Chain A
């Protein structure tokens, strides 16, 4: 379990600040795949960080929604990393990223139908059993829907929790991005979201672009400050569900530490206000 405080996605350039004066930051999250090398500075820094903070391991490489079987080598690398720290939490995505022997390096969307449901549930079961720990499943940022879908996303996630006992990682920026792109009401989505199973919240910045037909689309870029509208949604979630660990994700055009610390401070005030 993570502390009910703000956390930040760890970037090596923030290492010194984090270990000397973390401000409101109470935990850190790392992308698992960046720490699967044999040694060197990344693992040394991570070992030291783990002496200061609870570390959340956030996977982007498992391809839980892929048609292919889970990669046993990748599962083993994940287990070694989670056990060595040991990880305070482990999370992954409702997405697919591998196709045959090709790694797409992106989180790709799934149709919400009964076949996908069984497949993802079975992959979550396999992962939780192999790792010997609970998986928190993150809701995706979506840009399209599938004609094949017969389930609503919130119902789909809720059913996965029911079938597998996994927890949820609620990415509020993803909800915002999807709600604009797919034209649904973010507040309604969050009202129906099973907050009791949410063990972590993500916030991040997004950017606006135009799609191939010139229609405005929000892109989940993790390259900007958290939008005010996203903070308002988070505040509402915290009012209803109580404090949760809130992670600031900033992966591209990463700012200097004071900007990250200020975003974490925003989350801290929001948690304190309840």
Chain B
């Protein structure tokens, strides 16, 4: 049998009849990929239950097999899959929760960076650009995903919908609620806008001091440039 037919058998349910032991390999492939998803999306798993998660994950790994060997990031497509998976249509916040869990993993494995000296911020003007730790991630949501995440993982979070920023002061990424306009500001700054330009497109109720304090406290600012 060729590697083509072997691979087809693994990813197509019901095609494993050629040899009674082929299913050992096929199960090995799907089980290992399902465990990767179980480890990567623990809160989604708690929300839908472990038996349902395993069934859903099997459908996902067959329709979205990994295209990379970097299992630590499998899979960014899971959130998109959840958006269009009818059995979870009654849990419309699941895709955003999956984006949050994926962003936490990305942050965990992101490059290390030295934080900037907070005193250097006193010389900051609107012409400056801000540089952030590579572990910073923003997850926008119209659902209270942080409150739901906290309810499953521990800790407390404000009720109500909020955009989330993930910050990693050491090796443990943690999600934080962003004040109104914070995500708009940070996305502009991350794309290289000057502080002045980022502020000009942010809503007037933005509390800049609150955002900067959070970033400094969590060691997410690594430098300024003109």
Residues of A within 8 A of B (CB): 33-34, 36-44, 61, 66-67, 71, 74, 96-106, 108-109, 143-144, 146, 181, 209, 211-213, 215, 217, 219
Contact = CB atoms under 8 A, between A and B. Distances in A.
A101 B134 CA distance: 28
B32 to A, nearest CB: 5
Contact of B111 (A38, A67, A106): A38
B213 to A, nearest CB: 24
Interface in B60-112: 65-72, 108-112
Given A105-B33, A105-B71, A106-B29, A40 B110 contact: yes
B70 A36 contact: yes
B47 interface: no
Given A37-B109, A102-B11, A104-B7, 7 more contacts: A33-B71, A39-B135, A40-B108, A98-B69, A144-B21, A212-B23, A215-B20
Nearest to A142: B21
B6 interface: yes
Among B3, B16, B168, which residue has the most Cβ atoms of chain A within 10 A? B3
A213 B108 contact: no
A209 B7 CA distance: 23
Contacts of B171: 40-41, 44
Among B11, B19, B21, B67, which residue has the most Cβ atoms of chain A within 10 A? B21
Contacts of A215: 20
A102 B65 contact: yes
A84 B67 CA distance: 26
A201 B111 CA distance: 34
B36 interface: yes
14 contacts: A33-B71, A36-B70, A40-B110, A40-B135, A40-B168, A61-B69, A71-B69, A99-B7, A102-B7, A105-B36, A143-B24, A144-B21, A144-B22, A211-B24
Nearest to A60: B69
A96 to B, nearest CB: 6
A34 B36 CA distance: 12
Interface residues of B, number: 38
B25 A143 contact: yes
A146 to B, nearest CB: 7
A40 B110 CA distance: 6
B192 interface: no
Contacts of B67: 101-103
A98 B10 CA distance: 12
B137 to A, nearest CB: 13
Interface of B: 1, 3-4, 6-7, 10-11, 16, 19-25, 28-29, 32-33, 36, 65-72, 108-112, 134-135, 168, 171-172
Contacts of B70: 33, 36-37
B152 to A, nearest CB: 21
A106 B3 contact: no
A153 to B, nearest CB: 16
Contacts of A100: 7
B6 A108 contact: yes
A41 B108 contact: yes
Contacts of B108: 37, 40-41
Among B3, B29, B69, B71, which residue has the most Cβ atoms of chain A within 10 A? B69
B66 A106 contact: no
A219 B24 contact: yes
A1 to B, nearest CB: 27
Contacts of A37: 70, 72, 108-110
Nearest to B173: A40
Nearest to B65: A102
A38 B69 CA distance: 15
A15 B79 CA distance: 33
B65 to A, nearest CB: 5
A103 B36 CA distance: 13
A144 B71 CA distance: 27
A61 to B, nearest CB: 4
Nearest to A59: B69
Nearest to B107: A40
List of 8 A-B pairs having minimum Cβ-Cβ separation, nearest first: A37-B109, A41-B171, A99-B7, A38-B111, A39-B111, A39-B112, A144-B21, A212-B20
Contacts of B111: 38-39
Contacts of A213: 20
B25 A106 contact: yes
